[in-house]
Each structure stands twice: as C-alpha cells, then as structure tokens.
Amino acid sequence: MKKNLVVLILLSISLKSNACSCEWVGNFSRIAKHSGLVIKGKVVQHIYHTENGKRFINHDEFIHETLNNEFDPNYGTGESIKVEILEIIRGEEHRKIIEIFDTDGADCRASIHNFQTGKVYIFATHKSMGTRRKLPNETKDDYQIGACYESTLQYFPEENQVYGMIKGKSYRRKNIKYNYEKLKRKLMQY
C-alpha cells in the first residue's frame, strides 16, 4: 500500500513538472499584433507523426503504428494540420500551404485536434524555431499557435464574420461575432 502511494505521488509530481503553466495573456486583437504571421486559412489535412519520421493521414493507421511500438515511453508522436493560406493579414509567407504543429502538453501551445478539415479560421501564428521542444517531423519553417491566449478565430464566409475572444479584458472574456473586414483594418494598423 505504501509503495503504491509513493508511486502515485512521484507520478503526480513528474506530470506536473512537465505541464504547461501560464496565465491567459490576451484576446485575439492584442495577440495578433505581436504574431509573426496572421492569416485566413483553410484546414486541408490532419497529419499524425511518429518519431521514426513516418507521417499518417489515416488516424487508424497511426494508432496501429503506435501500438506496434509496444508503448515505448520514449516514443514520440505528434499531430499537425496543413493549412491553405487564403489571405495574409499580417506578416510574410511565400508558401501557399503551411503546417501548424500540435502541443506536447508541456510547451504551452494550443491543441489543433479540434480544427475541422475544410473549415476556415483566422490564425495568429509563430514559427516553431523558438521552441525548446520539437515534435516529430517539425522543422524551423513550421508554425505553432499559443494556448495562453486567443490565437484563432472561427470564420463564417456567408456572413463575412469571425467568432471568438476578439477583444475585452481578461476578467471579462467572452466570445463575440465581429465583422471580418473591420478586424482586418484594425490588425493592419499595428
């Protein structure tokens, strides 16, 4: 019994030491002016990565590969999304398609798991090169989005509106709908 308790305590300490710990820093308007690249982009594909360099589009094949690895605790996996740039709002990027990488839970990046293929979003991104940790297949030319602030907005083309925490103080955070053209003008002023 004592041995089990000690193991549980040690596990909880080690898990906490690797988790991201940050305060909410700001709304989308505030964060976008400091982002390296702000785009309107369409998610075209989810990709799953293994540390041996394999890339999977099919999630079931990815799971099969990780199970065949016999749950080696040092085996890294990751996820990314390919995003087609529809419009650059701020910053510079010459490629038409970029890759945004997921979080490992300790790097304070936002999860990309819930982004839907075919949907359009506004992304306030940063290059991955400044991070201490890299996910499998991630390069310095790839991007990330932060978890400690509002880094993405949903885009509704039929209304030309965006939805998310666009403005407001941290203690009054709430999602709102906002005119996309008005947001663009505001972001281009910085």
pLDDT at 90: 94
Tokens of 16: 């906490």
CATH code: domain of residue 169: 2.40.50.120
> Is there a domain that residue 16 lies in?
no
Q: What pLDDT score was predicted for residue 13? A: 38
Least confident among 85-89, 140-144, 145-149, 155-159: 145-149
Pairing of the two strands 97-101 and 77-90: antiparallel
Q: How do residues 29-71 score in pLDDT, each as one tens digit?
A: 988 988 999 999 999 999 988 888 888 898 898 888 888 776 4
Contact status, residue 89 vs residue 187, Cβ threshold 8 Å:
yes
User: Taking a C-beta distance cutoff of 8 angstroms, is the pair 79, 102 a contact?
Assistant: yes
Predicted TM-score (pTM) of this structure: 0.81
- What span, in angstroms and rounded, lies between the C-alpha atoms of 58 and 45? 10
Number of domains composing the chain: 1
Coil vs helix vs strand at 39: strand
The predicted pLDDT at position 132 comes to 57
71: in domain = yes
Mean pLDDT of the chain: 81
Q: Is residue 79 part of a domain?
A: yes
Residue 176 lies in a domain: yes
Q: Scan for tokens 């000690």, then name that residue.
A: 6
In a domain, 13, yes or no: no
Let me know if residue 3 belongs to a domain.
no
Reduce the DSSP state of residue 108 to 3 states and report it: coil
Round to whole Å and give the CA distance between 109 and 92.
21
Structure-token match 């400690």, residue found: 148
**In this structure, is residue 10 part of a structural domain?**
no
**Domain, as residue range, for 117:** 23-188
Per the structure block, which two tokens stand in for 43? 């998610």
With respect to residue 132, please indicate whether it lies within any of the assigned structural domains. Answer: yes
